[in-house]
Each structure stands twice: as C-alpha cells, then as structure tokens.
Amino acid sequence: MHILLVEDDDRIAAALRPALHRHGMTTTRLARGRGAVDHLADVDVVLLDLGLPDIDGVDVCRAIRAVSEVPVIVVSARGEVDDRILGLHSGADDYLVKPYDIGELVARAHAVHRRHRGPAGSPAGGVVVVDEVSVDLNRHTVTVAGREVTLTRKEFQVLALLASAGGAVCTRSRIVAEVWGRSWPGANRTLDVHVATLRTKLGRPELVQTVRGVGYRLGSPGGTGPGPGAGTPAVG
C-alpha cells in the first residue's frame, strides 16, 4: 500500500515513515498542501494533516476529491472538532486526532482502502466473522452461531459497514453518511436506535462497541477481534 503523507511537521514525518514502512507500506511525503493533487498517481491512501502552512487542509481535501476518489484520512490536533467535521464534509473517509497510535492509523488505512476497493476485493470472499456472528456482504445475510437473523436493510447496512472496517472505529458521521446518504438533525439518535436493535437481534450486546464521542466498532468481548495492537508507539 502506498501512502501519500501530507504533513508539515518534520518530527512527525520522521517518526511516521519508518513505522509505516515496517508495516509493509511505502510513503511519499509532502510538507505543503500546494501541489498535493499532482502526486496522487499510484497512491492508495492519503494521510492529510489539516494544519498546513500554505493552504487549509480542508481545501486540499476538496481539491483531491475534485479529481480523485482515493481514500483520504484527515488528521487534526486534539479538540479541533470543527476541523474534523469539516474534513469529513469535504470528502474525507476518516479522521485521526493527534497524538494517535500507529496501529490505529494502519488499521484505518487498511479499512478505507478495503472499502474503496469494495467487498469483492476482500480475501475472505465478502464474509466477515466475529464472535460467531457471520456477515455475508455479498448475499446480505447474517447468521449467529449458524442461525440466520433477519435485519432491516438499514440495520444490515450499519452492521456491514462496521464489519468491513476490520475492527477500526467507524465515526458516527461516516455511518450516517454512508447508510442514509445525508445527515440531518436527529441522525445520531436514529443511528443509536439502529445499533440498539442490532445488539438485541444479534444477542451479542458487546459485539457492537461504543467508542464514546467518536462512533462504533466491531469487536469480540475478549478483545481478540481485529484491530490495532497494544503497545504501539504514539506519534504527534
């Protein structure tokens, strides 16, 4: 996987690049936002810092979206909530808050890359299994310990999105955007209701985990599910 790293902080770039290389990724680094759209050839995922010296990262994101569907993960400093929301509205696929964990970055990069390629490209043939819950992304069926569970279309779409993320966190805004197509006042409440129904129907209350203030992820109760490993260094 080739990562385009748009990051003006030399210290962060110097720590990040070898860590990504150790995860089998290759990187190109730009220290400015200007010209980023000219470097998208063969890029699988863009990691875009929103605080850049020359152009607002949100504008860089919009410029990328105008010419390419390449997955973009925006990075903002802690507390800049408006930036993150603005980033997602400007076409970003996900966001990270500094300082973030390398393992989390790698998991999210794989997740956005996988979704971009679509379920057909997944090595598991489009079936994700977590804690006896089997989600068939192609046939749109769900079984729990071999027993088929009937979900509404929206319930299935929420579950499929979480299953496709490979254990990474799906932000509330992204789930709402991808499942309902648009956001509206009360969207979060609607999402919560769907998740509550999912937990009841699946009979696995701990499978769909709440990441407070961010969104949801899939994980088995024992923490053996896919996701970032413990003890990886923080950057930022």
CB of 97 to Ca ion, least distance (A): 13
Nearer to Ca ion, 51 or 225 (CB): 51
Nearer to Ca ion, 83 or 94 (CB): 83
Give CA–CA dist 108/64, Å, rounded: 19
Nearer to Ca ion, 83 or 131 (CB): 83
Helix/strand/coil percent split, the chain, to 5: 40, 25, 35
Instruction: Name the pairing type of β-strands 94-98 and 72-77.
Output: parallel
Q: Which residue has the tokens 């993320």?
A: 165
CB of 98 to Ca ion, least distance (A): 9
8 binds Ca ion (CB under 5 A): yes
CB of 49 to Ca ion, least distance (A): 4
φ/ψ (deg, to 5) at 158: -65, -45
Nearer to Ca ion, 8 or 178 (CB): 8
Give CA–CA dist 215/213, Å, rounded: 6
Nearer to Ca ion, 13 or 163 (CB): 13
CB of 74 to Ca ion, least distance (A): 11
Tokens of 2: 């080739």
Q: Cα separations (Å) of 178 from 103, 135, 171, 215?
A: 25, 18, 11, 13
Total residues in contact with Ca ion, by rule CB under 5 A: 3
Give CA–CA dist 170/192, Å, rounded: 13
CB of 23 to Ca ion, least distance (A): 22
Q: Cα separations (Å) of 94 from 45, 154, 177, 205?
A: 11, 21, 12, 25
Q: For Ca ion, which residue has the nearest CB?
A: 51
The interface mask with Ca ion, positions 43-72, x = CB under 5 A, is ------x-x---------------------
CB of 8 to Ca ion, least distance (A): 5
Tell me the angle at which helices 102-117 and 153-164 cross, rounded to the nearest 10 degrees.
130
Nearer to Ca ion, 35 or 205 (CB): 35
184-223 positions binding Ca ion, by CB under 5 A = none
91 binds Ca ion (CB under 5 A): no
Q: Which residues contribute to the site for Ca ion (CB under 5 A)?
A: 8, 49, 51
